[in-house]
Amino acid sequence: MIKEIFTGNIPTKLMALVMAVALWLYAINRHTGDLTEVVGLTVSVPEGITVLEQNFEEITIHLRGPQNVIDTVEDMIKDRKILARYTVRESPNMIEDQVKQTISIRRENLDLPSAVKLVSVYPDKVDIVLGKLQKKRLKVSLQKKGEPAIGYAVANEFVFPGEVEVTGPLNALKEASFIHTVPIDIGGITGEQNRTFPWRIEIDQKVIIKRGDKTISVPVVCNEDVRVWLQIVEQQDTRLFEKMKIKIIGPAEYPYTIKLQDEFANVRIKGPKLLLDKLNAEDIVLYIDVTSLKPPGPYKQPVKSILPKNVELVDKLPEVHLDIRETIRSAEVK
């Protein structure tokens, strides 16, 4: 009887087994998910070493596991809670200047749930260049952006301290002589800001070096900041006024007739640009004072000027020939 239970109706039992396995595979496949995502790669190094170069900052991973776990992992990757991390064990004493290494990315470099299988990683090998760190004092270069308000200019700038201590790769600091501040915005600045200085400005955490035709930015660390003074002045300019009428100035009852050889002259003045832009020809007076002159002429007299406040002549005004004659009076009618 027992033998018949196990050996009887074999085809039917085989069919039932095949159907059970098929249902199990269907259930497994239905509740298993695949995920391909890009994650950041962080390389950690011991104190005294820095990463100079890294040919891949991100890697692509292909994962497989229960669908509910895969969904959770996908959200964690989007929130950057899952990253690839590699820790370098190299000692600074083993590096004279810099050294190149190839690191392998495996499952242990990814903080994945145990239920998730790592199917593939691309790239699975990443090249890095490690550099030894050193300290060096570099000159501070003020970095500005924007332009002062129209009519104003930066006349002088002063940074204190003029040098700061920087920690960075040995090979880069050997070539560096200065480091920038973070850019300060001088857009629209006027002379009013002269009273608000000094400004406290941070140091940019990188040095710029040239190697051949390339300009390279190398990360460094500087824990200092600086104070900055700027002298903002009104921008100076020149302006030419052409064919200005020369006036005659003399006593009210001046009894002589004056004739100028040249009645017009050009005048070039300098001063604050904002002021010059607003000036009109009527604001400038060119004249000759004939108070002390009497006939007979001719005379050669310098042209003088009356100018608005805060402007002055650029060029010396010319001398003008003039003739003074007795005024011819009409005969009295008898």
Does the pLDDT value for residue 328 go beyond 70? no
Q: Domain check: are 205 and 176 in the same one?
A: yes
178 is a domain residue: yes
Are residue 36 and residue 120 in the same domain, yes or no?
yes
204 assigned to some structural domain: yes
Tens digits of residue pLDDT in 259-303? 899 999 999 999 999 999 999 999 999 999 998 888 887 889 999
- pLDDT surpassing 60 at residue 27: no
Instruction: Output the pLDDT for position 331.
Output: 46
Same domain as 242, residue 225: no
* β-strand pairing of 178-180 with 125-141: parallel
Q: Quickly list H helices, the chain.
A: 2-7, 10-30, 67-78, 170-173, 273-278
Does residue 209 share a domain with residue 175? yes
Q: pLDDT at residue 306 above 50?
A: yes
Its pTM stands at 0.59
* H helix count then E strand count, the chain: 5, 24
User: Domain containing 321: what range?
Assistant: 236-326
Spacing of C-alpha 183 from chain mean position: 5
pLDDT tens track for 60-87: 999 999 998 999 999 999 999 999 999 9
| Domain end residue (candidates: 234, 258, 291) | 234
Is 137 within a domain? Answer: no
281 within a domain of the structure (yes/no): yes
Whether residue 112 is found in the same domain as residue 146? no
- Given the DSSP bridges, would you call strands 84-87 and 144-145 parallel, antiparallel or unpaired? unpaired
What is the SS3 assignment for 305?
strand
Provide the pLDDT for residue 51. 87
* Number of independent structural domains in the chain: 3
Q: What is the pLDDT of residue 334?
A: 43
Whether 19 maps to a domain, the answer reads no
* Mean of per-residue pLDDT scores for the chain: 88
Q: What are the structure tokens assigned to 220, written together?
A: 């460094």
> Are residues 111 and 174 both part of a single domain?
no
pLDDT band at 41 (very low <50, low <70, confident <90, very high): very high
Q: Are both 273 and 248 inside the same structural domain?
A: yes
Could you report the per-residue pLDDT of 95-107, keeping only the tens digit for each? Answer: 878 888 999 999 9
Q: In this structure, are residues 144 and 113 in contact, taking their beta carbons and an 8 Å threshold? A: no
Residue partners of 47: CB distance under 8 A and separation at least 6: 92
Higher pLDDT, 331 or 194: 194
Residue 316 CA to residue 75 CA, distance in Å, equals 80
Q: For residue 47, what is the DSSP state?
A: T
Q: How confident is the model at residue 210 (pLDDT cuts 50, 70, 90)?
A: confident
What is the rounded CA–CA span in Å between residue 21 and residue 302?
118
pLDDT at 19 over 80: no
